[in-house]
């Protein structure tokens, strides 16, 4: 086995992947005369390098696509003491923006006539961007899942390149999440401005709890085996599958707990509009997204290990799963994220 180094530049960072390929995949001497080990390696390396270059170009285009709308964070100090004070409070049990729409539905009960108009204008002003960030982030999730299944089904050489690409799609997903959460915070802050001091106190104390859906977000529990079997069908070796999936389910628990802590902290910090600031909630989001990225990239590697050990010929099934993953974007998010979808859908 010989190794070939492919150097790629992603997001301004130079990354080297060592691609190891078997020089001889045929026992026919005639084949080896027609295709020397060097030519086989060179051809495979050229193909992988071409694929890598195309992916890199698309990632750069998506990065550039964001720049005109890139939101920057207020540089105010994070405020460590306020952070600790907020997290010492009882958990509000939901997201702040759940109250925005809950108050809107019950405006006649809790708001003055002038405030009703102000709230309607605030929601109307923020909703288009709120929806667009959501649909664009999910479009990138679909792209990530497409690459994930290609990574799972690929041979070792191609997988080494796809793993680097997968990391970059995760980075873009987290960049969009950061932007979405920043827009959500500014939306929430403007809703807060509509309320008077008495109303703010009622919201923070839980007196208005009946007006908002109680929702603490995703649990991030282990769904690895369900994800695999839904996409690929029943494994060929169920015993190996169950053993491998069980080992990963235990191994991911610390990562899962870190994500849950980060996301819950962010939600609680955003809720405390009387003490928080933009820099604080942005830092909380940065911590949460770093933990999320670490967990789900580890999930991707685990899925590959489990599939490669328990499915006899996974590539065709994984190719189909990749196509299905991207089809979700066209079915659910193209209308809300047409420009990004069009950019990603170019072949």
Are 65 and 92 in a shared domain? no
* Domain finish residue from 52, 70, 88: 70
Residues 282-332 have pLDDT tens digits of: 999 999 999 999 999 999 999 999 999 999 989 999 999 999 999 999 999
Residue 48 pLDDT class (50, 70, 90 cuts): low
Last residue of a domain, one of 15, 42, 70: 70
Q: Does the CA dihedral 153-156-158-164 come out positive or negative?
A: positive
Alpha carbons 204 and 214: distance in angstroms, whole number: 14
Strand partners, 339: none
On the CB side of 34, CA atoms within 13 Å amount to: 7
Domain match, 196 and 315 both: yes
8 and 146 within one domain: no
Q: 88 and 61 in one domain? A: no
Which pTM does this prediction carry? 0.85
209 and 66 part of one domain? no
Residues 274 and 300 placed together within one structural domain of the fold: yes
Q: Where are the alpha helices (DSSP H) in the chain?
A: 29-34, 37-66, 80-87, 96-105, 107-110, 113-153, 156-194, 197-205, 224-232, 238-251, 253-271, 278-310, 314-332, 338-345
Joined tokens for residue 116: 């009703």
DSSP line for 220-277: ----HHHHHHHHH-S-S-HHHHHHHHHHHHHHTHHHHHHHHHHHHHHHHHHH-TTT--
Domain that holds residue 65: 1-70
Cα–Cα distance, 344 to 138 (Å, whole number): 12
For the stretch 171-213, pLDDT in tens is: 999 999 999 999 999 999 999 999 999 999 999 999 999 999 8
Please tell me the predicted confidence (pLDDT) of residue 219: 79
In terms of domains, do 219 and 95 share one?
yes
Nearest C-alpha neighbor of 163 from the set 288, 19, 334: 19
Q: Are residues 5 and 144 in the same domain?
A: no
User: Is the domain of 21 the same as that of 38?
Assistant: yes
Query: Which among 26, 45, 70 is the end of a domain?
Result: 70
Tell me what the mean pLDDT of segment 272-284 comes to.
Answer: 96
pLDDT band for position 25 (cuts 50, 70, 90): very low
**Per-residue pLDDT at 218:** 82
Q: State the pLDDT confidence band at 74, using cuts at 50, 70 and 90.
A: confident
Does residue 274 share a domain with residue 143? Answer: yes
1-10, 85-94, 95-104: the lowest-pLDDT one: 1-10
Query: Considering the chain, what is the average pLDDT of its residues?
Result: 88
Q: What's the pLDDT score for residue 109?
A: 94
Total domains in the fold of the chain: 2
Closest CA to 281 of 163, 140, 184, 157: 184
Over the Cα atoms of the chain, what is R_g?
24
DSSP state of 74: P
pLDDT tens profile 209-248: 999 989 888 878 899 999 999 999 999 999 999 999 999 9
Is the separation of the CB atoms in 144 and 165 below 8 Å? no
Question: Around 244, how many Cα atoms within 13 Å sit in the side-chain half-sphere?
Answer: 21
pLDDT tens figures, 108-134? 999 999 999 999 999 999 999 999 999
User: In this structure, are 17 and 130 located in the same domain?
Assistant: no
272 and 313 share one domain: yes
């Amino acid at each position: 086995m010989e190794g070939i180094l492919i150097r790629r530049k992603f997001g301004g960072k130079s990354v080297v992947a060592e691609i190891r390929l078997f020089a001889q995949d045929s026992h026919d001497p005639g084949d080896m005369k027609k295709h020397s080990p060097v030519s086989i390696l060179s051809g495979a390396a050229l193909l992988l390098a071409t694929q890598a270059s195309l992916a890199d170009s698309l990632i750069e285009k998506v990065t550039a696509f964001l720049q005109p709308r890139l939101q920057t964070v207020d540089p105010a100090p994070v405020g460590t003491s306020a952070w600790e004070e907020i997290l010492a409070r009882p958990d509000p049990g939901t997201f702040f923006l759940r109250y925005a729409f809950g108050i809107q539905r019950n405006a006649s009960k809790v708001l003055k006539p002038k405030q009703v108009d102000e709230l309607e204008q605030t929601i109307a002003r923020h909703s288009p961007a709120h929806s667009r960030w959501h649909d664009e982030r999910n479009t990138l999730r679909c792209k990530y899942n497409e690459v994930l299944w290609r990574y799972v089904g690929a041979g070792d050489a191609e997988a080494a390149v796809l793993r680097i690409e997968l990391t970059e799609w995760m980075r873009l997903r987290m960049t969009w999440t950061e932007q979405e959460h920043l827009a959500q915070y500014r939306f929430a802050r403007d809703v807060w401005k509509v309320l008077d001091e008495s109303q703010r106190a009622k919201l923070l104390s839980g007196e208005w709890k009946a007006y908002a859906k109680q929702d603490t977000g995703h649990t991030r529990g282990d769904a690895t085996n369900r994800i695999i079997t839904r996409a690929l069908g029943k494994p060929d070796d169920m015993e190996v599958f169950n053993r491998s999936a069980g080992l990963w389910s235990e191994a991911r628990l610390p990562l899962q707990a870190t994500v849950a802590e980060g996301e819950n902290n962010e939600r609680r910090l955003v809720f405390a509009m009387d003490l928080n600031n933009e820099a604080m909630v942005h830092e909380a989001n940065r911590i949460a997204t770093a933990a999320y990225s670490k967990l789900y990239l580890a999930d991707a590697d685990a899925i590959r290990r489990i599939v490669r050990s328990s499915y006899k010929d996974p590539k065709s099934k994984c190719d189909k799963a990749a196509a299905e993953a991207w089809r979700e974007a066209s079915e659910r998010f193209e209308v809300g994220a047409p420009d990004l979808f069009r950019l990603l859908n170019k072949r």
